[in-house]
């Protein structure tokens, strides 16, 4: 049966289980959009900017575990996807980006809206395709989805010229892929697993597990919990590992790194064995590489061999899928107790608690208080999608995550503006879940146009803007390391309540602690999207903090200080 290239693409997407695409039309993809009405099972969500499409596909993928799909036209449409593709690449998110290209006869001739998007995205994709015949589309889609979801997941791009969408060819969807050069290792080496088990059983008094996003990708939540409980090992996580181990668990000690808990960072510095699982040892987690876990032997488990030993020395490397490594490892690990070590961590937690009395009793509205009240009112039964900067760290620190994939944020790339479109994708993928978008006033202004998408497609995201009238994290660095030279960090904002009203979204402004709970409850009780602008203290900083270039042991605790009252000049 002969179909057009556009029909072949739609048929192929359905074969891969795709039910939603996030995208934006344009000239060279019009043959595809003209075909969409023939495929009602493919829901296309019209974003307001292609970057929003990429972030929405990213959020959808993280929340559901499926491959997210975004779509753009050639030229600027394609290049507008680049930030979102790079974001997915650094955070190992399975995504397929489909772009239109100028007709084959115009390629290489600087035609209108022509860019070499495969060349541009080569460093930030697992692979990409320029499909020059309609008969090659099905094979390209099959391979793209296989590459995106297998091994270490990541984004793949498919670029299709306009006339290839129109060209007809026989449609036969391939049953399997044949990629002899691509063979990721999923089973851990038995000898290495045995060596790791012996080290856990016999060679440590102060063991520590550091869990990263690889645990979530492999779905190894139960295996991680079983390992920790069997060997009685405390667990800390990376930023992207949050949610892979229940934070209410007695063996959970929060997040490590630049803004991790003090007790997690002290634990790393004092441990005699570190079991790093599905993390890439990046600088925000480890801080000073050569002083990371100085007293510890290190077991590193990761599916990507390139990540093992890249930044930090490793004593026992194990390459493989986390779940497939932990299952045989657990069988070799003996039941144990580390009572004194756990008591030490508990003492450190009591010494430096995350929720201080100042936060609980502040007379002015603090952002930490807002985040924790969202946690209390939702009882933790929500997916939180955070932006980047101070709001991201407060969301990580003050909402306790017990469920897998319940905290979603841009980690490796640190993309401001990620939160709103990503939360849109999360809600589309998980329509029965409560989704809270926690944003800063700076990042929110980068992609606020997606409010229109929320309304048009009836996507019920709840939005909390922590408005401190500045680019908060940059301002914090200027305060601490640049002699308070506040250059271009004070930030003017629109009236967010009026803005929401213009889009047809109910909204509230909250400026006192007493208003927080009623506002959150009203948002929760309202069908559809809801926006709350929380006018918070402008000079509040994120603590704990490890200064750049210092070891994790040099973590700075919150200094004693008077709470600053909100300045009138920052009031919208």
Instruction: Give Cα 497 distance to the centre of its chain.
Output: 27
Query: By C-alpha distance, which of 305, 310, 299, 268 is closest to 286?
Result: 268
Q: What is the CA radius of gyration of the chain?
A: 24
The residues that bridge with 52 in the sheet, in sequence order, are none
Is 281 annotated in the active site?
no
Is 50 annotated in the active site?
yes
Show the CA angle centred on residue 443, arms to residues 518 and 244, nearest 5°: 75
Lateral strand order in the sheet of 127-130? 43-46, 20-23, 68-72, 95-101, 155-161, 127-130
Among candidate residues 15, 36, 113, 194, the one labeled active-site is 113
Handedness of CA 74, 75, 77, 80 (dihedral sign): positive
Distance CA 118, CA 32 (A): 20
Distance CA 513, CA 365 (A): 5
Burial 426-455 (b: 16+ CB within 10 A, else e): bbbbbeeebbbbbbbbbbbbbbbebbbbbe
Residue 74: CB atoms within 10 A of its CB come to 27
Among candidate residues 112, 351, 522, 561, the one labeled active-site is 112
Query: By C-alpha distance, which of 129, 128, 127, 137 is closest to 164?
Result: 137
Query: By C-alpha distance, which of 516, 514, 535 is closest to 524?
Result: 516
Structure tokens at 519: 């506002």
Among candidate residues 162, 206, 373, 427, the one labeled active-site is 162
Is 162 annotated in the active site?
yes
Q: Is 173 exposed, middle or buried, given 0-12, 13-18 or 19+ CB atoms closer than 10 A?
A: middle
Distance CA 560, CA 318 (A): 44
Phi/psi for 125 (5° steps) reads -130, 155
Among candidate residues 7, 11, 22, 50, the one labeled active-site is 50
Among candidate residues 66, 473, 534, 545, the one labeled active-site is 473
Q: Which residues are catalytic?
A: 50, 112-113, 162, 473
């Amino acid at each position: 049966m002969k179909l057009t290239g556009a029909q072949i693409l739609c048929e192929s997407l359905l074969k891969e289980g795709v039910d939603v695409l996030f995208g934006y039309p344009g000239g060279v993809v019009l043959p595809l959009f003209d075909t969409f009405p023939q495929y009602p099972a493919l829901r296309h969500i019209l974003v307001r900017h292609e970057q929003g499409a990429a972030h929405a596909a990213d959020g959808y993928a993280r929340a559901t575990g499926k491959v997210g799909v975004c779509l753009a036209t050639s030229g600027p449409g394609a290049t507008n996807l680049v930030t979102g593709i790079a974001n997915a690449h650094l955070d190992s998110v399975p995504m397929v980006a489909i772009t239109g290209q100028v007709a084959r006869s115009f390629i290489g001739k600087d035609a209108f809206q022509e860019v070499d998007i495969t060349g541009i995205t080569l460093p930030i994709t697992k692979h990409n395709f320029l499909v020059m015949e309609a008969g090659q589309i099905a094979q390209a889609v099959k391979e793209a989805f296989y590459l995106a979801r297998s091994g270490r997941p990541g984004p793949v791009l498919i670029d299709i010229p306009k006339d290839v969408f129109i060209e007809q060819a026989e449609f036969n969807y391939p049953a399997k892929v044949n990629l002899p050069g691509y063979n990721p290792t999923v089973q851990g080496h038995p000898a290495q697993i045995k060596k790791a088990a012996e080290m856990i059983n016999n060679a440590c008094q102060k063991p520590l597990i550091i869990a990263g996003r690889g645990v979530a990708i492999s779905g190894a939540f139960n295996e991680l919990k079983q390992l920790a409980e069997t060997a009685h090992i405390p667990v800390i996580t990376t930023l992207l590992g949050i949610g892979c181990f229940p934070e209410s668990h007695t063996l959970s000690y929060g997040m490590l790194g630049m803004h991790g808990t003090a007790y997690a960072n002290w634990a790393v510095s004092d441990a005699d064995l570190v079991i790093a699982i599905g993390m890439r040892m990046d600088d925000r987690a480890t801080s000073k590489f050569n002083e990371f876990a100085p007293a510890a032997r290190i077991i590193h488990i990761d599916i990507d061999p390139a990540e093992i030993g890249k930044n930090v020395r490793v004593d026992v490397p194990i390459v493989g899928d986390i779940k497939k490594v932990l299952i045989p490892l657990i069988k070799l690990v003996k039941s144990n107790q580390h009572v004194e070590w756990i008591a030490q961590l508990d003492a450190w937690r009591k010494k430096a608690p995350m929720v201080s009395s100042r936060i609980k009793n502040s007379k002015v509205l603090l952002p930490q208080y807002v985040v924790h009240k969202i946690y209390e009112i939702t009882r933790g039964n929500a997916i939180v999608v955070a932006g980047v900067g101070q709001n991201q760290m407060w969301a990580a620190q003050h909402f306790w995550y017990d469920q897998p994939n319940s905290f979603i944020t841009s980690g490796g790339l640190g993309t401001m503006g990620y939160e709103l479109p990503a939360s849109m994708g999360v809600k589309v993928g998980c329509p029965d879940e409560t989704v809270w978008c926690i944003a800063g006033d700076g990042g929110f202004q980068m992609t606020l146009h997606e409010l229109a998408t929320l309304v048009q497609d009836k996507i019920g995201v709840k939005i909390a803007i922590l408005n401190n009238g500045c680019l908060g994290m940059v301002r914090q660095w200027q305060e601490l390391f640049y002699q308070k030279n506040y250059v271009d960090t004070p930030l003017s904002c629109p009236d967010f309540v009026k803005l929401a009203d213009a889009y047809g979204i109910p909204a509230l402004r909250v400026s006192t602690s007493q208003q927080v709970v009623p506002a959150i409850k009203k948002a929760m009780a309202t069908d559809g999207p809801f926006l709350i602008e929380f006018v918070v203290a402008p000079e509040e900083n994120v603590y704990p903090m490890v200064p750049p270039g210092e070891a994790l042991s040099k973590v700075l605790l919150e200094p004693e200080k008077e709470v600053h009252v909100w300045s009138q000049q920052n009031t919208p």
